[in-house]
Amino acid sequence: MPREIALSGVYLPSLTLLLPLALLLTWGLDRLFARLGLYGFVWHPALLRTSLFGCLYAGMALFIYR
Protein backbone atom coordinates (compact mmCIF):
# COMPACT_ATOMS: atom_id res chain seq x y z
CA MET A 1 0.00 0.00 0.00
CA PRO A 2 1.41 3.43 -0.87
CA ARG A 3 2.46 5.71 1.95
CA GLU A 4 0.39 8.62 0.61
CA ILE A 5 -2.95 8.64 -1.18
CA ALA A 6 -4.01 11.48 -3.47
CA LEU A 7 -7.55 12.62 -2.71
CA SER A 8 -8.70 15.53 -4.90
CA GLY A 9 -5.12 16.66 -5.37
CA VAL A 10 -4.32 16.54 -1.66
CA TYR A 11 -1.85 13.95 -0.46
CA LEU A 12 -3.04 12.21 2.71
CA PRO A 13 -1.19 9.57 4.69
CA SER A 14 -2.65 6.11 4.29
CA LEU A 15 -3.24 6.06 8.05
CA THR A 16 -6.01 8.60 7.49
CA LEU A 17 -8.00 5.96 5.66
CA LEU A 18 -7.43 3.44 8.44
CA LEU A 19 -9.10 5.69 11.01
CA PRO A 20 -12.71 5.06 9.85
CA LEU A 21 -11.97 1.35 9.51
CA ALA A 22 -10.61 1.20 13.05
CA LEU A 23 -13.63 3.13 14.31
CA LEU A 24 -16.03 0.70 12.62
CA LEU A 25 -14.19 -2.33 13.98
CA THR A 26 -14.14 -0.80 17.45
CA TRP A 27 -17.84 -0.03 17.27
CA GLY A 28 -18.64 -3.60 16.17
CA LEU A 29 -16.53 -5.16 18.89
CA ASP A 30 -18.04 -2.77 21.44
CA ARG A 31 -21.54 -3.92 20.51
CA LEU A 32 -20.44 -7.55 20.70
CA PHE A 33 -18.85 -7.08 24.12
CA ALA A 34 -21.97 -5.31 25.39
CA ARG A 35 -24.24 -8.06 24.08
CA LEU A 36 -22.11 -10.77 25.69
CA GLY A 37 -22.01 -8.88 28.99
CA LEU A 38 -18.23 -8.61 29.11
CA TYR A 39 -18.32 -5.05 30.41
CA GLY A 40 -19.43 -6.38 33.78
CA PHE A 41 -15.99 -7.91 34.25
CA VAL A 42 -13.86 -4.85 33.46
CA TRP A 43 -12.91 -2.06 35.81
CA HIS A 44 -13.48 0.87 33.44
CA PRO A 45 -15.47 0.23 30.21
CA ALA A 46 -14.53 3.57 28.62
CA LEU A 47 -10.85 2.81 29.13
CA LEU A 48 -11.34 -0.59 27.51
CA ARG A 49 -13.05 1.02 24.51
CA THR A 50 -10.26 3.56 24.10
CA SER A 51 -7.51 0.98 24.39
CA LEU A 52 -9.32 -1.33 21.98
CA PHE A 53 -9.40 1.45 19.39
CA GLY A 54 -5.73 2.24 20.00
CA CYS A 55 -4.69 -1.39 19.63
CA LEU A 56 -6.69 -1.89 16.44
CA TYR A 57 -5.42 1.32 14.87
CA ALA A 58 -1.80 0.65 15.81
CA GLY A 59 -2.05 -2.97 14.66
CA MET A 60 -3.34 -1.97 11.24
CA ALA A 61 -0.66 0.73 10.97
CA LEU A 62 2.08 -1.75 11.80
CA PHE A 63 0.66 -4.16 9.25
CA ILE A 64 0.87 -1.50 6.52
CA TYR A 65 4.20 0.07 7.47
CA ARG A 66 6.24 -3.03 8.27
Q: Is residue 45 part of a domain?
A: yes
Residue 66 has, within 13 A of its CA and on its CB side, a CA count of: 5
pTM score, whole prediction: 0.82
Q: Is residue 9 part of a domain?
A: no
Q: Is residue 5 part of a domain?
A: no
pLDDT digits (tens, 9 = 90+) for 19-46: 999 999 999 999 999 999 999 999 999 9
Give me the pLDDT at residue 2, please: 62
Q: Cα 54 to chain center, whole Å?
A: 6
Give me the pLDDT at residue 1, please: 55
Residue 2 DSSP SS3: coil
The domain containing residue 53 runs over which residues? Answer: 18-64
Q: Is residue 41 part of a domain?
A: yes
Q: What is the mean pLDDT of residues 1-26?
A: 86
How many CB atoms are closer than 10 A to CB 49? 17
Instruction: Give the chain's domain count.
Output: 1
**Average pLDDT of the residues of the chain:** 91
d(CA 3, CA 39): 37
